[in-house]
Amino acid sequence: MHIGFLGLGNMGGPMAGNLIKAGFTLSVFDLSKDAVNKLVEQGATAVTSPNQFAQQQVDVVISMLPAAPHVKGVFLGEDGLLKHLQKSTLIIDCSTIDPHSAREVNKVATELGHKMLDAPVSGGTMGAQAGTLTFMVGGTDADFTSAKSILAAMGKNIVHCGACGNGQAAKVANNMLLGISMIGVAEAMALGVSLGMDAKVLAGIINTSSGRCWSSEINNPFPGVLENVPASRGYTGGFGTDLMLKDLGLATEAAKLCKQPVIMGGMAQQLYQAFSLQGNGQLDFSAIIKLYHKE
């Protein structure tokens, strides 16, 4: 099977590499020549524009781009890829974008006779490298079935979330909760420590009690509680505050369009916004505890 892969950044690069390892034929495109060269070294063929995927008659196009304007630009733009691809090409967009944009691109793709899935991921760059990503997939049953063996080369959990756009809906809902829960854990840890608790003892109690969650157990924001997490290495690595801000922006925008209140999500967005403005956008989002606790 011949796959065209667009967007070879921190996520797309290792994902494309795993497809090559699994035996797929890959043609690749990115605006960065360095990113393309890394994949060529692993066995991919470089193309000089996405529209060359059409000339090569690829069976599948996978995109892993920064945000909705990039996805719309590539697929729907004036000389967009959808107009050039042969009919029935399967398009899998793995970028994290809002559900409304995903449905907009899907509508045009379907009208032009293509098949399209939105398939955002969770698992971060480590999951992309290890091939253990979770894919949240929106689209028809038939297209999901066709895509499964491809996604399985890049991920461990592949979940069909329903119709097109639902993959993005699952992703924004999960990441909004993550952003909120991290602030909750930061607030609770800081309060307990201010009241005299030892941070490790407090985290142990939370993690065996009703406050337990991923933010307390796997990525506790309090420095020194866990080894090998961003909080214990100056909040470097991990999931940047600005990336969390992007996802909270998607959640609040999507909520506005369906008139759904996201009160805590909106407050979380504002807190991370203020934190980013102070110059902390590149720090792991667990660094939000700095608003509550001085080391």
Residues in contact with ligand NAD by the rule CB under 6 A: 6-12, 29-32, 35, 64-67, 70, 73-74, 95-96, 121-122, 124-125, 239, 246
As measured in angstroms, the least distance from the Cβ of 235 to ligand NAD is: 15
Supply the Cα-derived Rg of the chain in whole angstroms.
Answer: 20
CB-wise, 92 or 202, nearer to ligand NAD? 92
Taking the CB of residue 170, how many other CB atoms lie within 10 A of it?
Answer: 21
Pair of tokens at residue 4: 């065209």
Pair of tokens at residue 18: 């795993």
User: Which residues make beta-bridge pairs with 170?
Assistant: none
Scan for tokens 């008139």, then name that residue.
259
Could you give the CA distance from residue 178 to residue 158 in angstroms, rounded to a whole number?
A: 20
| Active-site choice (38, 171, 246, 290) | 171
Please confirm, yes or no, whether 171 is among the known catalytic residues. yes
Phi, psi for 135 (deg, rounded to 5): -105, 130
DSSP of 11-44, one letter per residue? Answer: THHHHHHHHHHTT-EEEEE-S-HHHHHHHHHTTP
Q: What is the 3-state secondary structure (H, E, C) of 167-216?
A: HHHHHHHHHHHHHHHHHHHHHHHHHHHHCCCCHHHHHHHHHCCCCCCHHH
As measured in angstroms, the least distance from the Cβ of 21 to ligand NAD is: 18
What's CA 131's distance to the chain center, in Å?
A: 14
CB-wise, 116 or 206, nearer to ligand NAD? 116
State which H helix or E strand residue 54 sits in.
helix 52-55
As measured in angstroms, the least distance from the Cβ of 120 to ligand NAD is: 6
As measured in angstroms, the least distance from the Cβ of 49 to ligand NAD is: 9
CB-wise, 35 or 90, nearer to ligand NAD? 35
As measured in angstroms, the least distance from the Cβ of 168 to ligand NAD is: 10
CB-wise, 30 or 118, nearer to ligand NAD? 30
CB-wise, 125 or 273, nearer to ligand NAD? 125
Residues with catalytic roles? 171
